[in-house]
Amino acid sequence: MPLSVVILAAGQGRRMNSDLPKVLQRLAGKPLLQHVVDTARELGPDALYVVYGHGGAQVQSALAHERLDWVLQADQLGTGHAVMQALPLIPDAHTVLVLYGDVPLVGPACLRELVHQADAGALALLTVKLPDPSGYGRIVRDANGQVTGIVEHKDASPDELAIREANSGLMAAPAARLREWLPGIGSNNSQLEFYLTDVAAVAVRSKNPVVAITVTHPVDVLGVNDRVQLAEVEAAFRAARAAELMLAGATLADPLRIDIRGEVTVERDVFIDVNAVLIGKVHLGARVSVGPGCLIRDSHIGADTEIKANSVIENAAIGEHARIGPFARIRPGTQLGPEAHIGNFVEVKNSFIGAGSKVNHLSYIGDATVGAGVNIGAGTITCNYDGVNKWRTSIDDGAFIGSGSMLVAPLTIGAGATIGAGSTITAPAAAGKLTLARARQTTSETWTRPVTLDDAEKLTEADKLSPVGSKEP
């Protein structure tokens, strides 16, 4: 049957003590609501509605890149009232799946089962068994184990509070049936709100089947209401992603000390040391080694590459058998060829570094094309910015750049050229030749090291009348 997903995201989240709406609090680098939308997309819905309210402009702006149907809940009168705002837009022939913008870890598998049961005409509820279900609505069953209703924690009797099966709030139902049931719920409760959960009792009274599906892992339906719960969800997300990497062939020095904030894929025998942060779309080829404290964002790392400690790689493509770091920074737009070496305290930006080329020490290479087999000495800078425009430097195959060189772009260094150490190169350097650009070294015979005022006061009157160090005997 056609599927409409309704995500409830109108709550303020006062316990967050934040100016940011609750559903925009970040989990693994992106808003809670974005996680829920991404999961909903996996179900292939025909329509996706987000019911918004508090901080609506912020919420809509944060997800402006998504194709969503926004539904305003001007007055927050409960979850049942929120669904009522979206229901007029949904055809009777659809199945409705209700999700929550602050429940980010629920997976598509159990949601598909909810939808399957609702497609068959049932009200399908997602439940969870908890040792301490305080704060959750309880699933009430009859002597035959059939669901008869859901009672909220604040409205539960002592016997009902002893029930350990709790309602997650997530449910699915045929749109036509939901349209019949919702007018039957009231607000006669401690919150004076229209609870969506009350449709369970209405469905039972109308002789409609109610099916409860219990999740295996309680954290999958944990709602985020404060920063403590946000940290719990973050830890669970991190642990799940770490397990996926290990099952795919990666060794993690400590699965508790890795931070994964995106879609990370690995090939066989990858090693990741402690405190690595992987953000966005990252691929690590076979036998890649990532040292401690590294950050990799939206990058492809070729097989057998070694990334040493405390290096940063962003929006880059790294070839096979490369070596990077320690303390290297690879900025966006960089491509490293096979067996390229980028060493300690080297920064590379928007450049191509050819196969086997080396930039090993304390250098900046920006907006450059570097051929194969090039050696760039310590302290070399491509001077690529004139204050307004960026200019490119081209260093052809086999060139040797001496330490402390300033290469003022736009510039071409020919194949096999050698640039003498300490040169400032402003014109093309001929292929296969030595190019120097140094001022002649001189020594001043009359210069002396400056002295402090205190030392100067100690000089004799005769010393003060003649230049220091030039007094005649």
Residue-wise pLDDT tens digits, 312-371: 999 999 999 999 999 999 999 999 999 999 999 999 999 999 999 999 999 999 999 999
Q: Supply the pTM of this predicted model.
A: 0.85
Beta strands in 18-160 (DSSP E): 26-27, 30-31, 47-52, 69-72, 95-100, 123-129, 138-141, 147-151
Answer for the pair 173, 117: CB distance below 8 angstroms, yes or no. Answer: no
3-state secondary structure of 117: helix
In the predicted model, what is the mean pLDDT of the chain? 93
Question: Which DSSP symbol is given to 387?
Answer: S
Residue-wise pLDDT tens digits, 177-226: 999 999 888 777 777 688 898 898 899 888 899 999 999 899 999 999 99
Q: Under CATH, to which class is 3-221 assigned? A: alpha beta
Equal CATH topology for 3-221 and 227-435: no
Question: Which DSSP symbol is given to 133?
Answer: -
All structural domains of the chain with their residue ranges: 3-221, 227-435
With 50 as the cut, is the pLDDT of residue 471 above it?
no
If you average pLDDT over residues 384-400, what whole number do you get?
96
Which residue is it, tokens 């050698």? 418
The correct CATH number of 227-435 out of 1.10.443.10, 1.10.10.10, 1.10.3720.10, 2.160.10.10 is: 2.160.10.10
> pLDDT confidence of 473, banded at 50, 70, 90?
very low
> Which helix H or strand E contains 335, and what residues bound it?
strand 335-336
- The distance in angstroms from the start CA to the end CA of the chain is 109
Which residues are identified as catalytic? Answer: 361
3-state secondary structure of 60: helix
Listed residue (35, 24, 85) closest to 60, CA to CA: 24
With 50 as the cut, is the pLDDT of residue 393 above it?
yes
Distance CA 357, CA 188 (A): 75
Distance CA 287, CA 66 (A): 37
> Which helix H or strand E contains 82, and what residues bound it?
helix 79-86
Distance CA 304, CA 301 (A): 9
Distance CA 150, CA 136 (A): 10
Question: Residue 9: how many CB atoms within 10 A of its CB?
Answer: 31
Pairing of strands 30-31, 26-27: antiparallel
- Cα four-point dihedral sign 241, 246, 248, 249: positive
Residue-wise pLDDT tens digits, 413-451: 999 999 999 999 999 999 999 999 988 889 999 998 888
With 60 as the cut, is the pLDDT of residue 464 above it?
no
263: CB partners within 8 A, 6+ apart = 280, 281, 282
Output the pLDDT for position 193: 80
The one-letter amino acid at 4: S
